[in-house]
Structure 1
Amino acid sequence: MSENLHFNILLFHWPTTKPIFYFSIKETQGSHPIHKYKWSTNILKAFPQLNNSKIETIYTTFTTKSKGASGVKIEMHGKELLIYKQFLKHKLRTYFKEKGFVVSKNFIKDTQVWVPAKKDTHSLYKPYYKFSLKIQFAQVSQLPELIISFDGIAKVLKYPISEIEDTTLVKKTIYKNTVFNYQNLKNPEKQDFYNSLEFNKAYPLLNRDLARTYNLPQSTPERTNKYIKYLNYISSFTKAYLLTEEFKKIIPIGNNNFFKVPTKFVKYIPPHKGKLEYANKKTGLFPKRELGKFKPYRRPQNPNIKFFFIYHKSHQQKIKKLYSYLTKGTGKDTYYQGLEKYINIKVKLSNQHFIEYQNSANPIPEIISQLDKKEFDHNNVQYAAFYISPFNKFTPNKEHKMVYIKIKELLLKEGIVTQAIDYNKMQKDVESPKYYQYTLHNISLAIHAKLGGIPWKLAVTEKKELVIGVGAFMHQEQNRRYIACAFSFQNNGLFRGFDYFSENNKYALAGSICKKIREFSEQATPNKVVIHFYKDMSNKEIKPIKEGMLKLGLKVPLYILNINKTDALDIIAYDKGWSNLMPKSGTFIRIGNKKFLLFNNARYNNKYSDAEGYPFPIKISISSPDKDAFNDANIVLELLTQVYQFSRLYWKSLRQQNVPITIKYPEMVAQLAPRFQGTIPPHAKDKLWFL
């Protein structure tokens, strides 16, 4: 594979002489705190009184001399390198603030610069382009490295806080060139800032609540090539603001070009590792082309399937056309032949279970009332409901969003799987069967999986392994993160069950993981246990799992893979050898010690359809509490191949995903389940109702 790969990184020089930083025990004007985890041997020699003291912070004015401060020559390694990084970040912030830019921090505390749009095209808000600057040392080269990333667009209202009646809707706000949270001003320092605030000069960032107040539509995800847009943004920013003689005085950039990925850092997962198996041992790489032709790997266990509609009375005419498509297909010059033919099952319309509601704003009471009067033959029949929603999934209205979730929960307790269909989208799309057929393909796929079928599985599996996925979703209105586990007993990726917890319930999480390890080890001894985690896993989280394995006598290595999306805020790579820039599927690049970028997509050569999308890579770090876990030279390739394979088992859409289902599925559960009024029924914990 001939690729011309580059990082979004500029290299800069080490200092020609070791800088001298000035430190003091007491805080002085303009000084910066240095926590004790950064105290080097040289600092402790300069301040022997720090040994065995309760002091946790000293202060530095960096290269500026100050009265009573002690100078320490800074080495470019170890703890002092962390202080040097703090110095460079301070210089970055100061430089851009002095230029009049809004300067903030992203969620990983790197410097974020907001560049106002040159064209002011909206009457209600002004767009700002957000760029992050991250400093790291000798991770992919022998030099200091500056990562430039594009973090998206912030929309800042043109109305100041002084003109906003309900300030409870205000969250992040710009005042002068600072970003702050208007609702988080409790500590004394923030109170002083709040008291100095001029309301007529403080402008809120547009959020969902404010957008609803000003009748602004919520933006929908873009389907364009993200690589091209991303590279254009960071290239323009870099040329305009970083490749100047003035900027180079603070960050001495050497080469003006983004750093080419060293060949030794690039490896590939063979395409055949992503092969999928359908019915009758048919295999392929592209479900979009193959599922209808080869048919699903396994049908739902229940051979008796009936479906019905839940809809508003005004939906009737469009539902008739939808029903025609589901039963007869979309007709001439299209590929969708109907639900039965496409996913190879027998289904029957259950007219007596139709539910028509009158109140579109709150249909729940009507649905409950009608559902109570209907009889279901759950002993013999599996039911599926098509809920025709009057609200689209991007609605900013919380009450409207909750209608879908309440219906989902209501039917789940009845043992009925639900497929929601956006009526506003459907009523337009059903008139264009050539276009709507693709939506029907995805609907049919999801229904098949929800009913307990297996659309496809991995064709290439080598070892018996237990893979546990832990994902999360932050609920903004509760300001609380929930986590969930999805389990697969073998490397074929077949789903077996899940639980979910609030993030702070680490003991329940460890107990659930240990239970699954025990259940698996009773059937077969795994070669290893692998956990895919949504963040870095702490020693406190790992310890009870290892203890549980030891109690079971399971002496096999435990591997932890921290899997992150890289849509922004961090390192990516792109292929200058291809006009669309996205590296080929299966490419993985080392970006640090056991840290990698992995590209999961549908590009196997230069023939590529835009409809497949352009997903960014995922960032993976691999660790293990076992000393000899990495003795096998092939283990990293095995673990990354497993992630690559699990990204091909997403059954909500035929489009290739970049995130494995071990992270994606738990995230979906954690997004829905905390909003349920009750708990998830036991019978639903091994079903894919959340697709």
Structure 2
Amino acid sequence: MFKKSVLDLMEAVPPDCFNWVIYKKDLYKYEKLPDTLKMELENVYPVWNFKLRDALRLPAEKPDRTNKYTKFKSNIDYFYKNVINENGFRNIIPVDSESFIPVKETQISSVKEKSNELLFYNDTHDIVPFNGMKKGPYKPSAYSKIQFFYIFHKDDLQIAKVMHDFFSHGLPPFKGLYHFAKVPYNTQGNFSIMFTNKDNPLDEIEREMIQRDFQPDVHYFAIYLSPHSKHHPNREIRSIYYRIKELLLKRDITSQAIDVKKVKAALANDKSRYDYSLNNIAIAILAKLDGIPWQLNTKLKNELIVGIGAFKHIDTDVRYLGSAFSFTNNGKFKHFECFQKDQTDELAGSILDQVKEYVSVNNHIQRLIIHFYKNMSKKELQPIENGLNNLDLDIPVFIVSINKTESRDIVAFDNNSEQLMPISGTYINVGFNKYLLFNNVRYYKDSRIGKIDGYPFPIKLSIRCTHEEEAKDPKVIRELINQVYQFSRMYWKSVRQQNLPVTIKYPEMVAEIFPHFSGNEIPEFGKDNLWFL
């Protein structure tokens, strides 16, 4: 909650930035304030949200990477000792337990051994993406003729030269785009685009692109140096980032946006490690050029995997669903789509189209696996079941619901470790086909946790199947959880491991950008390309 009232902030903040507000400890929606409170705006205080943060140009909070487990347990111990353990509380709510509930051994399992192994060049193994990339990516770009060009504001010419030097020669220990990601880096003189209108550059950029001679046998890649943050408080300026991506996709051009302000801040600070950012940018560029930075070390199966993620567009208050399809279980994804939340038939139709394509290529499909961002309703599942029946496919459909926020209502602690965080890959059956999956970098009992890695809480999964008996098979459950665990290692936007599988994360990223595109459609080139990284 802000200490300043709505009235105090009105001069600096547009009215659509206010969402929830507080008046004398009561919570209200700003747009539904009673008339009596509209007369006392000096006593109404806004609850923090991202739009308010951006409008007031407040700095983004750094993610907490300290040990959440020790702090969480300490807070619970304090609450038990000073609140629950008081007689007054027990008289109202008779709490019998005097300690944490021990987890039975029969409830604890772990993913398969070496599930965290990734494959790099020449099938070399590693569990840390950054270390594995030193051996070379699993597969270089599918294109042999690649040409980079820059799009930048005239004030940022020097930054364009700096980035060109970084990609060509590196910024130690980053050794350059080719030496790290095996992407040949080449630019052509007088091909880059310099615009003058910082707040409305689209027309200018489009005119310049028409004048460029794009060769059909060359794969072009744009480096867009953005003078504005994609979180800018002004909606129109914020949309420039997305509209430039769309403009380029319509010309079959992938792009990588770079925040100019972040580069300038890094150059101004001798202790800054911009080479970390360059590693991540290089990984994303390779993936966007249809290369494979690393791959899962797993045997292929005849199954189709669908990921459905969601993002609620703040400006329109509409939730969009993104989808991603995998024809293999090695983490390579293709065909991205996006829908509004209520377009359940369209979503089902898209899934069924991919099932038909899969069967036409592979002849046989053993099962359909759907990773869903929430519990899937009967209304959402029924069109898919009907479609499979129409295709004469009697196959099990597994729905793995993945809560994208870390579980805090149910958390487990490893008392055999000072860190209290359970070993990565541990999962606990908490009943009713629900599981906690611990997904972190504590791979061994004595693993050292780096400051950047952090101590993530577990993610919560629930598993069900249209063939109910199959959801009761511990072997099948382990395979499905193992898959979620492995897919979290396929995030090609960073060399650091993520907590959420790309089956949820990638579609969510698509759904975040999609509403900014004209015509409510992803350009055809973008449906089979990782342009959103």
In structure 2, relative to structure 1, the CA distance for the partners of 1:269 and 1:211 (3 Å cut) is closer
CA distance in 2, matches of 1:285, 1:175: 51
Cα pair 1:466 1:520 within 8 Å, conserved: yes
Correspondence for 2:366 among 527, 530, 538: 527
Q: Residues 216 and 649 (structure 1 numbering): CA distance in 2 closer, same or farther, change over 3 Å?
A: closer
Pick from 558, 572, 578: which aligns with 2:411?
A: 572
Which one-letter code corresponds to 2:129 in the other structure? Answer: P
Structure 1 unaligned segments of length 5 or more: list them. Answer: 1-154, 186-190
Which deviates more from structure 2 when the two are superposed, residues 482-491 or residues 580-589?
580-589
- CA distance in 1 between partners of 2:177 and 2:151 (Å): 18
Q: Which amino acid aligns with 1:689?
A: W
With over 3 angstroms needed to count, the CA separation of the structure-2 counterparts of 1:194 and 1:231, relative to structure 1, is farther
Rounded to whole Å, the distance in 2 between the matches of 1:212 and 1:529 is 41
The match for 1:264 among 95, 102, 106 is: 106
1:593 equivalent among 427, 432, 448: 432
| Equivalent of residue 505 in structure 2, options 641, 645, 664 | 664
Equivalent of 1:176 in 14, 20, 24: 24
Rate the CA distance shift 1:351–1:600 in 2: closer, same or farther, 3 A.
farther
Distance 2:163 2:8 in 1: 50
User: Do the aligned partners of 1:597 and 1:620 also contact (CA within 8 Å) in 2?
Assistant: yes
Aligned 8 A contact 1:308 1:351 in 2: no
Alpha carbons of structure 1 residues 354 and 175: separation in structure 2 relative to 1, 3 Å: same
Please give the residue correspondences for 1:480-519 in structure 2 after superposition, counting only pairs within 5 Å.
480-519=318-357
Return 635-644 or 168-177, whichever deviates more.
168-177
Structure 2 contact 284–492 (Cα < 8 Å) conserved = yes
Q: Which letter maps to 1:264?
A: T
1:412 to 217, 231, 249: 249
Question: C-alpha distance in 2, partners of 1:213/1:424?
Answer: 17
CA contact (8 A) 2:148 2:185 kept: yes
Are residue 329 (structure 1) and residue 170 (structure 2) matched? yes
User: Which residue is equivalent to 1:283?
Assistant: 125
Q: Using the alignment, how far apart are the partners of 1:212 and 1:533 within structure 2? A: 30
Counterpart secondary structure, 1:650: coil
State whether residues 295 and 343 of structure 1, in contact with CA within 8 Å, keep that contact through their aligned partners in structure 2: yes
Counterpart of 1:370 in structure 2 is 208
Query: Are the counterparts in 1 of residues 37 and 44 from structure 2 also a CA contact under 8 Å?
Result: no
Which residue in the other structure is 2:489 paired with? 648
CA deviation vs aligned residue, 1:479-524 (integer Å, no higher than 9, x gap): 1100011000111121121211100000001111111111112222
Residue of structure 1 in register with 2:187 after alignment: 349
Moved more, 380-389 or 440-449: 380-389
> In structure 2, which of residues 155, 158, 172 is the aligned counterpart of residue 317 of structure 1?
158
Q: Matched residues in 1 for 2:56 and 2:385: separation?
A: 53
Instruction: State the structure with bigger RCO (CA 8 A, min sep 6), 1 or 2.
Output: 2
Partner of residue 46, structure 2 = 204
Q: Cα–Cα, structure 1 residues 401 and 222, in superposed 2: closer, same or farther, change >3 Å? A: farther
Work out whether residues 330 and 433 of structure 1, in 8 Å CA contact, stay in contact via their aligned partners in 2.
no
Using the TM superposition, give the Cα deviation of residue 403 of structure 1 relative to its aligned residue in structure 2, in angstroms.
1.6
Question: C-alpha separation between the residues in 1 aligned to 2:232 and 2:16?
Answer: 20
CA contact 1:266–1:587 (8 Å) conserved in 2: yes
Q: Match for residue 542 of structure 1?
A: 381
Paired with 1:302 and 1:160, the residues of 2 have a C-alpha distance of: 54
Note if contact 1:613-1:655 (Cα within 8 Å) is conserved in structure 2: no
User: Against the structure 1 CA distance between its residues 552 and 208, is the aligned structure 2 distance closer, same or farther, given a 3 Å change threshold?
Assistant: closer
Cα displacement (A) at 1:277: 1.4
Describe the superposition over 1:126-150 as per-residue Cα deviations: whole angstroms up to 9, x where unpaired. xxxxxxxxxxxxxxxxxxxxxxxxx
Q: Is the 8 A contact 1:279 1:294 kept in 2?
A: yes
- SS of residue in 1 equivalent to 2:115: helix
In 1: Cα distance, 2:72 partner to 2:191 partner: 49
Change (3 A) 1:326 1:225: farther
Q: Report deviation, 1:248.
A: 2.3
1:447 and 2:285 correspond: yes
Shift of 1:649: 0.8
Contact kept, 8 Å, 1:161 with 1:167, in 2: the verdict is no
Assess if the C-alpha contact under 8 Å between 2:321 and 2:340 holds in 1.
Answer: yes
Contact kept, 8 Å, 1:288 with 1:654, in 2: the verdict is yes
Q: Is the 8 A contact 2:434 2:460 kept in 1?
A: yes
Rounded to whole Å, the distance in 2 between the matches of 1:271 and 1:392 is 42
Distance change in 2, residues 1:383/1:241 (3 Å): farther
Report the 3-state secondary structure (helix = DSSP H, G, I; strand = E; otherwise coil) of the residue aligned with 1:352: coil
Deviates more, 1:441-450 or 1:159-168: 159-168
1:565–1:617 Cα contact (<8 Å) kept = no
Alpha carbons 2:64, 2:454 under 8 Å: kept: no
Secondary structure at the counterpart of residue 436 of structure 2: strand
Q: Distance in 1 between matches of 2:196 and 2:51?
A: 27
Structure 2 Cα separation of the partners of residues 581 and 392 of structure 1: 38
CA distance in 2, matches of 1:476, 1:194: 27
| 1:475 corresponds to | 313
TM-score, normalised by the number of residues in structure 2: 0.92
**1:163 and 1:501 mapped to 2: Cα distance?**
36
**Contact 2:54/2:231 (8 A) holds in 1:** no
Alpha-carbon distance in 2 for matches of 1:446, 1:308: 16
The aligned amino acid for 1:469 is G
Gaps (5+ residues) in structure 2?
A: none
CA–CA distance in 1 between the matches of 2:472 and 2:89?
A: 45
> How far apart are 1:570 and its partner, in Å?
2.8
Distance between the aligned counterparts of 2:43 and 2:324, measured in 1?
48
Cα distance between partner residues in 2 of 1:167 and 1:315: 33
Counterpart in the other structure of 1:424 = 261
Q: Secondary structure, in 3 states, of the residue corresponding to 2:180?
A: helix
Partner of 1:382: 219
**Equivalent residue for 2:442?**
603
Write the letter of the residue equivalent to 1:158: K
Cα shift at 1:398: 2.8
Equivalent position SS for 2:413: strand
- Mean Cα deviation higher: 155-164 or 603-612: 155-164
Deviation digits for residues 338-397 of structure 1 (CA, Å, limit 9, x no counterpart): 1111112323112332111223333333222222221211x2111111111122344434
Call closer, same or farther: CA 1:179–1:345 in 2, change over 3 Å: same
Q: Is the Cα–Cα contact under 8 Å of residues 307 and 383 in structure 1 kept in the other structure? A: yes
Partner of 1:157: 3
Look at both structures and tell me which one has the larger radius of gyration over its CA atoms: 1
Q: Is the Cα–Cα contact under 8 Å of residues 308 and 354 in structure 1 kept in the other structure?
A: yes
Given that 2:463 and 2:471 are in contact with CA atoms closer than 8 Å, whether structure 1 keeps it comes out as no
Is residue 518 of structure 2 the alignment partner of residue 677 of structure 1? yes
Aligned to 2:528, the other structure's residue is in SS state coil
CA contact (8 A) 1:310 1:355 kept: yes
Partner of 2:394: 555
Aligned pairs, number: 526
Q: Which amino acid aligns with 1:317?
A: Q
1-side partners of 2:332 and 2:412: how far apart?
Answer: 31
Indicate the SS of the match to 1:589.
Answer: strand
TM-fit CA distance, 1:225:
3.7
Instruction: Report sequence identity in percent.
Output: 39
